[in-house]
Amino acid sequence: MTLQMLAGLTAAVPVVATAIELVGNPGLSERHHSHHDTYIVSGQFSRMLVMAMVFMGALGLMLGWLCALGAFKADTTVVFAFFLAFLLVTFSFWLAIKHYRVVTYVDRMRITPFVGLTRTVRYRDIARIEWARPNALVGYQSVRVFERGKKGSVTIWGSLDVDQILLCINRFDALDSGL
């Protein structure tokens, strides 16, 4: 890859993320409608990731430019590659965060995981709900929902309003009481 391509990508990734954030951010992490409620990751968290990408992109461009001028003895390609790698990983994480959502209806919920297809869980088919181990990264506890007759579980991430989602599910008989 040439230096111009690395520099262009280092500039483009934060610009694309900013444009997507400005156009696609609903502003609210919960939306209540007459027939369903939608829960997504906080807009503040999403904007914070975009701000980190903008900062790191600008820093990468500045340091790469200074290396090209000879102010630092570092290889310009390595500097751009480092910042571009950070930007691409953060961008991928940010896209996964934006993809995640839980939609609750009267009789079912639809969970769109970070990566993958949406899964519908009917409340009557829930075999058990258990608390996931606490996640120090988000500071909240997640829950795993197990369906009768299906392998595996779906996880409701702790950064969403898990208490409100559990109230919508209304299957406290299936909830593991141990924390």
Q: What is the mean pLDDT of the chain?
A: 85
Number of neighbours of residue 109 by Cβ within 10 angstroms: 23
| Residue 60 buriedness (CB in 10 A; 0-12 / 13-18 / 19+) | buried
Per-position DSSP letters for 111-125, written without gaps between them: EE-SSS--EEEEGGG
Q: Where are the domains of the chain?
A: 3-34+41-99, 106-169
| Residue 179 in this model has a pLDDT that exceeds 50 | no
The mean pLDDT of 89-97, rounded to a whole number, is 93
What pTM value is reported for the model? 0.79
Tens-digit pLDDT profile for residues 9-21: 999 999 999 999 8
DSSP tag of 127: E
Q: How far apart, in whole angstroms, are the C-alpha atoms of residue 155 and residue 18?
A: 29
